[in-house]
Amino acid sequence: MKRIGVFVCWCGSNIASTVDVGRVVEEAGKLPGVVHAEDYKYLCSDPGQNIVQKAIEDYSLDAVVISACTPSLHEPTFRKAVEMKGMNPYQCEIANIREQCSWVHEDKEAATEKAIKIIRSIVEKVRRNESLEPITAPLTKRALVIGAGISGIQAALDIANSGYEVLLVEKQPSIGGHMAQLSETFPTLDCSQCILTPKMVEVSRHPKIRLLTYSEVLEISGFLGNFNVKILKKPRYVDETLCNSCGECSEVCPVVVPNEFERGLSSRHAIYVPFPQAVPSVYTLDAEACLGLFPLACEKCSKVCETNAINYDMEPEIIEETVGAVVVATGYDLYPIDEIKEYGNGKIPDVIDGLHFERLLSASGPTEGVVRRPSDHKIPKEVVFVQCAGSRDTERGKPYCSKICCMYTAKHAMLYKHKVPDGQAYIFYIDVRAGGKGYEEFYQRGIEEDGTVYLRGKVSRIFQDGDKVIVWGSDTLTGKKIEIAADMVVLAAPIVPCEGSDDLARRLKIQTDANGFLSEVHPKLRPVESITAGFFLAGAGQAPKDIPEAVAQASGAASKVVALFANDVVEHDPMIVGVTEDMCSGCGVCVGVCPFGARELDTERKKVKVLEVLCEGCGACSAACPTGAAQQRNLNDEQLTSMVGATLAEALEGSDS
């Protein structure tokens, strides 16, 4: 019989105040197979672990039961400790007598009885535990990064600079994301494009980065270390290797459509580059805007192209690749202001959103950096900025804080005043949230040096009156109703996950939260990992964040990928559900219930086969299997029955008598 040691933790008073630890030790010592039982104030401490390790030697223990807090906290600690003494880590089990006992009960006597039962059942389990070895699988040391905004760029560069190959996929014709649209960045007011474009160039020149723009990830199958990726490369009808970006095609193109990069404030042709510093510096023919490709209606562009780069017969291409890890950096969009009905319903030309205003401020923007309002191109002399225009609004907008608006609005007002010295900026706010290095000072500077007027209150309605935009609001500090006849209004609309990201998340089988942002494993301790193993998160697709935070998270995600790639194989938890072939009838019920695709039916042999690395040990198949052939390792039917028996021993005896 196995020689088992039971160790009972006080957890200070967390356990000891509700559970009579002395009595538990006494009772545990009497259990079958238990050769040693003792207690300690903090078992997870170094001295506590030493006690366990010493007992393994002194009593020649084969297995250990740690009676303490939840296994989700210290199971790895103790498994590591016993492993150091040569014990198989799967011979160490945790009996949770804190979360499931001492914390939820008040009656000390009853809690003590319950703790004894919990330990008794775990002792029964561990008596039948097998020694297991981790399952290993090969590891492809190549990463996929989805989205090439600043987060995706940073993650791709960090991974590539560590020596691993990166596949960087961007759905737009150019990389750069929203950061390429920004004018200057808070709190230092350095030019956004000036700090971004060197990184864009580095990406395009990096020997380890394969850049796929105008492309979308269709599907990812496989598992951590071995993902099969299917990517759609949309036809841009311009050969990337031939185009010298001379721009003559665009000059002759007769089609004029709103320019998305300029948020519709100016126009572009059907064949275009989004902005001068685009990477790759290649023209793209927008097939939807073009007068016609099937059949060809115009052909003006191909006639002027000196390098014959334009190819109207270009087909969509499916690219398949194997990668070991995926960084999802899908980014954000602004909530459309035409959904904010009380603020003009999107129908007032001089009510714009924050990204519009960035383009109006930008030296490379449609007004070349002169702030002109969209309706009549006049320079606005009174501009109202509305923060939380839809954020922190549980009834009609988004319940969360979009986080970056306080700072970018402070910046907008400041830059506006620099460009229009005789203008006046008003900011309606609920709270000013300026947490961040240099942020509070920046916001104060706006008030003190640039005369930004902050009005604490919500705006109730915005409407057009002649050539003015009337803003009705309240100043909750004075209790007065405020009406401002403004020349232009800038709404800080909510940050929402990038369009199509929920659809992508479904295809990738990764999780999103109630607002559609990508979910991390743990909000504090594992903020860059997705719940699905092998997927890492970076940037505003996970939650609203500014550039420094997005870059930091991207580097964090990259370091996780690099840490993974430092291994030669991927290790997988061996607590999987196997198949006892003699008992398997080949009914295939388990194949249907497996959420991970880990089970396959061999129709010839009429037996189920397990793809061990895919199995997460959830036990769904085990419950569904009609013959008992699907047995979970170290939690098989025999163990479960004996654990239930141990828990109910007194009750069963009672019913017998």
- 341 or 378: whose CB is closer to another protein? 341
Nearer to another protein, 150 or 340 (CB): 340
- Our finding on whether 468 is near another protein (CB under 8 A) is no
CB nearer to another protein: pick between 228 and 345 = 345
Vertex 395, ends 479 and 541: CA angle to 5°?
110
Q: In the β-sheet with 63-68, what is the strand arrangement from edge to edge?
A: 34-40, 4-9, 63-68, 92-96
Three-state SS sequence of 303-362: HHCCCCCECCCCCCEEEEEEECEEEECCCEEECCHHHCHHHCCCCCCCEEEHHHHHHHHC
Q: How far is the CB of 469 from another protein (least distance, A)?
A: 10
Task: Based on the shown chain and the rule CB under 8 A, indicate whether residue 481 belongs to the binding site for another protein.
Answer: no
Nearer to another protein, 48 or 390 (CB): 390
What are the structure tokens assigned to 8, written together? 């009972």
CA atoms of 182 and 82, how far apart (whole Å): 55
Q: Which stretch binds another protein (CB under 8 A): 402-410, 417-425, 440-448, 457-465?
A: 457-465
The nearer residue to another protein, 471 or 490, going by C-beta atoms, is: 471
For residues 343 and 517, which CB has a smaller minimum distance to another protein in the complex? 343
Touching another protein, residues 554-573 (CB under 8 A): none
| Cα 248 to Cα 657: distance, rounded to the nearest angstrom | 97
Query: For residues 96 and 221, what is the distance between their CA atoms, to the nearest angstrom?
Result: 36
Give how many residues touch another protein by CB under 8 A: 9
**Contact of 359 with 465, CB cutoff 8 Å:** no
Q: Which stretch binds another protein (CB under 8 A): 10-18, 445-453, 458-466, 474-482?
A: 458-466
Looking at 17, 100, 228, 464, which residue binds another protein (CB under 8 A)? 464
CB of 345 to another protein, least distance (A): 5
Do you know the residue count of the chain?
657
> Are 611 and 135 in contact, with CB atoms under 8 Å apart?
no
Give me the helices (H) in 107-149, please: 108-127
CA-to-CA distance for 398 and 428, rounded, in angstroms? Answer: 18
Contacts of 76 (CB under 8 A, 6+ apart): none
Q: Which of 342, 450, 546, 612 binds another protein (CB under 8 A)?
A: 342
Residues 6+ away with beta carbon under 8 Å from 287: 235, 237, 293
Interatomic CA distance for residues 548 and 188, integer angstroms:
12
Q: Which helix (H) or strand (E) holds 483?
A: strand 480-486
Q: Is residue 463 at the binding interface for another protein, with CB under 8 A as the rule?
A: yes
Kindly tell me which of 337 and 629 has the beta carbon lying closer to another protein. 337
Edge to edge, the sheet with strand 468-475 lists: 459-465, 468-475, 480-486
Q: Rounded to the nearest whole angstrom, what is the least distance from the CB of residue 392 to another protein in the complex?
A: 17
Q: Are 327 and 158 in contact (CB under 8 A)?
A: no
- Compute the least distance from the CB of residue 375 to another protein, in Å: 16
Scanning 117-125, 182-190, 268-276, 460-468 for contacts with another protein by CB under 8 A, the matching segment is: 460-468
Q: Could you tell me the smallest distance in angstroms from the CB atom of residue 346 to another protein?
A: 9
Stretch that binds another protein, among 140-148, 341-349, 558-566, 573-581 (CB under 8 A): 341-349
Interatomic CA distance for residues 294 and 311, integer angstroms: 13
Q: Which is nearer to another protein, 54 or 480 (CB)?
A: 480
Which residue lies nearer to another protein by CB, 339 or 549? 339
In order, the DSSP letters of 387-404 are TTSBTB-TTTS-SS--SS
From 245-253, 416-424, 433-441, 464-472, give the range in contact with another protein by CB under 8 A. 464-472
Q: Cβ distance 517 to 542 under 8 Å? A: yes
Nearer to another protein, 342 or 450 (CB): 342
Of 273-281, 300-308, 315-323, 339-347: span binding another protein (CB under 8 A): 339-347
Partners of 120 in the β-ladder: none
* Nearer Cβ to another protein (457/541): 457
If one asks whether residue 465 binds another protein (CB under 8 A), the answer comes out as yes
**529 close to 537: Cβ distance less than 8 angstroms:** yes
User: With CB under 8 A as the contact rule, which of the stretches 59-67, 266-274, 462-470, 489-497 interacts with another protein?
Assistant: 462-470
User: Interface residues for another protein in 150-169 (CB under 8 A)?
Assistant: none
Are the beta carbons of 366 and 263 closer than 8 angstroms? no
Residue 342 beta carbon to another protein: minimum distance, rounded to whole angstroms: 4
Part in contact with another protein (CB under 8 A); list of ranges 130-138, 226-234, 338-346, 439-447: 338-346
Tally of CB atoms within 10 A around 346 = 14
Contact 561, 571 (CB under 8 A): no
Q: Which residues contact 28 (CB under 8 A, 6 or more apart)?
A: 6, 8, 34, 37, 65, 67, 116, 119, 120, 123
Please, what is the minimum distance in Å from the beta carbon of residue 384 to another protein? 16
Closer CB to another protein, 54 or 461, in the complex: 461
Q: Taking CB under 8 A as the rule, does residue 461 contact another protein?
A: yes
Amino acid making up residue 166? V
Site for another protein in 264-323 (CB under 8 A): none
| Cα dihedral: 337, 372, 414, 497 (round 10) | 30
Amino acid at residue number 577: V
Q: Which residue, 463 or 596, is less far from another protein as judged by CB? A: 463
CB of 341 to another protein, least distance (A): 3
Q: How far is the CB of 465 from another protein (least distance, A)?
A: 8
Question: Going residue by residue from 376 to 415, which x/- string records binding to another protein, judged by CB under 8 A?
Answer: --------------------x-------------------
Is the CB of 339 or the CB of 573 nearer to another protein?
Answer: 339
Which residues lie near another protein (CB under 8 A)?
Answer: 341-342, 345, 396, 461, 463-465, 470
